[in-house]
Structure 1
Amino acid sequence: MSGFLGPYQQAQVRPLRTNVPLDSIVLSDPAILADRPTNTYYMTGTGGLLWKSKNLSRWDGPYKVTQTDPASWMGPNPMIWAAELHAYKNKYYYFATFTNRAVKIDTVKGREIERRASHVLVSDTPDGPYVPMQEATYLPADIPTLDGTFWVDKDGKPYMVYCYEWLQNLNGTIEKIELKPDLSGSVGKGKVLFRASDSPWSREKDEAGKDKPNKVTDGPYLFNTGTGRLGMIWTSWIYDVYTQGVAYSASGTLDGPWLQDPDPITLPNFGHGMLFRTFGGKLLMSVHSHKSVNGRTVRVPHLFEADLSGDKLVIGKPYVPVE
């Protein structure tokens, strides 16, 4: 697959840099694959580009790794959000959100909604190129979906877990859909796992100025605790503060029911996290910080120590990589 070019377009790329400190990289939704066969960390996120590191401290990039079909629903130059890399059955899969801004699928409360969906690309190697598989769409064309992630449930079947965006339904959901065994397409229909309004910690004001749960669901990521409990981190807002919470499945499967922890799991203005283990075996959470600088939103990757040895996910102090 690595030699396959075909009629595909690659993401726009910036000049290659080397030996870049992690906190000098501007990147939303950072997701890190620790790939043992190459002894390399690969970091993706929003933008469709890739960074590489041997020690988590210094990074080379950004490399262009996606090749999408301009004749597909994505169009010639899709926006790419929240990419994740997953190694599965001797292949590498690129879960990401693709947006075709030229296509409008709906208008809700005066806001046009663009064609946006979670999708999966594949490669033989972790650094790509990642190319489309057989299925044209994984999720319905008439709804906006985003932030797809990967999970193999207790039934042994692979699933995509994703968000149905609040822009259309006005109360975002997190849902699952079964994938084919080789992840080349989806099976059946999506199922709601929980809604944004289920959150006890997220807040916003309604049109009358009254307090209510926030409408946003963002960035789901699944994990098992040391006791075998199934959990999910996900992100929303407390008014204007970007915030990450956690939920646990009472059944131990994706079907839940999902019980929301009452308090956020990370510090304010950190979110869209994922978990990975270093080559030394340390569990870390990768997140981005969210702040406004001169009217512009700036997001930077950060690492925090994490612990899954007990019954719950515990987030510790910031992790400083050793060079």
Structure 2
Amino acid sequence: MKKILILLLVLPFFAANAQYRTPVVRKDIPLDSIRLSDPFILADKKTATYYMTGTGGMLWKSKDLKKWTGPFHITQPDTTSWMGNNPMIWAAEIHQYKNKYYYFATFTNRKVFIDTVKGTPIERRASHILVSDKPDGPYVPMADPTYLPADKPTLDGTFWVDTNGKPYMVYCYEWLQNWDGTIEKIELKPDLSGSVGDGVLLFKASESPWSKERNAEGKVIPNKVTDGPWLFYTKTGKLGMLWTSWIFDVYTQGVVYSKSGTLNGPWIQEAQPITPPNFGHGMMFRTFEGKLLMSLHSHKDVNGRTIRIPHLFEVDDSGDKLIVGKRYQP
């Protein structure tokens, strides 16, 4: 667990500094040559372009998924807000909704601390939403300065419209404070410019049958990390959610299904991970030709430094449960 904590606290430092340097735009870059955590791909039919973002808050563009151009700087957060003038950006997503594009991302102010738990100082971190008229931005603030409580570290917010027609943010309440990470939902205003009411628990990390870690006594227990929720329907109408945790020191992609078919659950965990080891923070999109793909990243140690590489897998959603197939080569 110590290794995981170091990765979570140290690696984003490099992304935070990189995202505010003027990016050098490169062309015709293969996907596996890009270094990117939490890769999210929007297939925008209006512009016939794939847009990829993720941790670091930058944007890449492609017409065919083979060659990419970027990175581009596309966010303009409010530097007078709680985020501060140099916020880190994690796990960004772009969602099209009612003729606008919304940038869901985790922002961290490294100069503000909200708590200290078991000797670890916890920075001000929260999921937030920016808006733009175009998929490539710029993305700017909306009405509400905060969506989630200031005294809780939250991350990896994603978007879902439930069967009641209401929009929601689904996000993680980070394990660093509660030591049993959760995935929760909060209702959003109709234009996504703020949140309504309080967050509601969907499930806890400890409910997973496959994630594992060792406690201080060496006993194997469920891992405490919840990462990267992403919601979907199968073609049979089954509501599911991708989410990520760890099996000891291996990042691992899991899936959970809602018994009721709504966000209210109950959420039933699958017994086994859905992808091979060392892949996680997955999301799905359909190519312009109609093929369903999962985008996610792997970890690789290079000279003592962990790098993260985006990948694509083919997915079959024709039944009640997803089946992840072979690696996709554009």
How many residues are paired up? 312
1:228 shift after superposition: 0.5
Counterpart pick for 2:207 among 192, 198, 201: 198
Counterpart pick for 1:319 among 316, 323, 328: 328
Contact 1:11 1:66 in 2 (8 A): no
- Provide the C-alpha distance between the structure 1 equivalents of 2:220 and 2:66, rounded to a whole number of angstroms: 42
2:150 partner amino acid: A
Task: Say whether residues 1:27 and 2:36 are aligned partners.
Answer: yes
Corresponding residue for 1:168?
177
Q: Secondary structure at the match of 2:24?
A: coil
Task: Say whether residues 1:15 and 2:24 are aligned partners.
Answer: yes
1:14 shift after superposition: 2.2
- Provide the C-alpha distance between the structure 2 equivalents of 1:212 and 1:219, rounded to a whole number of angstroms: 21
Could you report, residue by residue, the CA deviation over 1:212-269 in whole angstroms, capped at 9, with x for unpaired residues? 0000000000000111010001000000000010000000000100000000001100
2:223 partner amino acid: N
Corresponding residue for 1:48?
57
1:12 shift after superposition: 3.4
- Provide the C-alpha distance between the structure 2 equivalents of 1:108 and 1:147, rounded to a whole number of angstroms: 21
Q: Secondary structure at the match of 1:142?
A: coil
- Provide the C-alpha distance between the structure 1 equivalents of 2:207 and 2:58, rounded to a whole number of angstroms: 34
Could you report, residue by residue, the CA deviation over 1:25-49 in whole angstroms, capped at 9, with x for unpaired residues? 0000000000000000000000010
Corresponding residue for 2:142?
133
Task: Say whether residues 1:300 and 2:287 are aligned partners.
Answer: no
1:316 shift after superposition: 0.4
Corresponding residue for 1:72?
81
- Provide the C-alpha distance between the structure 2 equivalents of 1:248 and 1:58, rounded to a whole number of angstroms: 34
Gapped runs of 5+ residues in structure 2? Answer: 1-18
Contact 1:81 1:98 in 2 (8 A): yes
Counterpart pick for 1:154 among 150, 153, 163: 163
TM-score when scaled to structure 1?
0.96
- Provide the C-alpha distance between the structure 2 equivalents of 1:71 and 1:218, rounded to a whole number of angstroms: 28
Could you report, residue by residue, the CA deviation over 1:86-132 in whole angstroms, capped at 9, with x for unpaired residues? 00000000000000000000000010000000000000000000001
Contact 1:11 1:67 in 2 (8 A): no
TM-score when scaled to structure 2?
0.94
Identity of counterpart residues, as a percentage? 74
Gapped runs of 5+ residues in structure 1? Answer: 1-9
| Aligned pairs for 1:57-96 within 5 A | 57-96=66-105
Could you report, residue by residue, the CA deviation over 1:39-70 in whole angstroms, capped at 9, with x for unpaired residues? 00000000010000000010000000000111
RMSD: 0.8
1:295 shift after superposition: 1.6
Q: Secondary structure at the match of 2:177?
A: helix
- Provide the C-alpha distance between the structure 2 equivalents of 1:13 and 1:95, rounded to a whole number of angstroms: 22
Corresponding residue for 2:152?
143
Structure with the higher fraction of residues in helix conformation:
2
- Provide the C-alpha distance between the structure 2 equivalents of 1:74 and 1:125, rounded to a whole number of angstroms: 24
1:170 partner amino acid: W
Q: Secondary structure at the match of 2:176?
A: helix
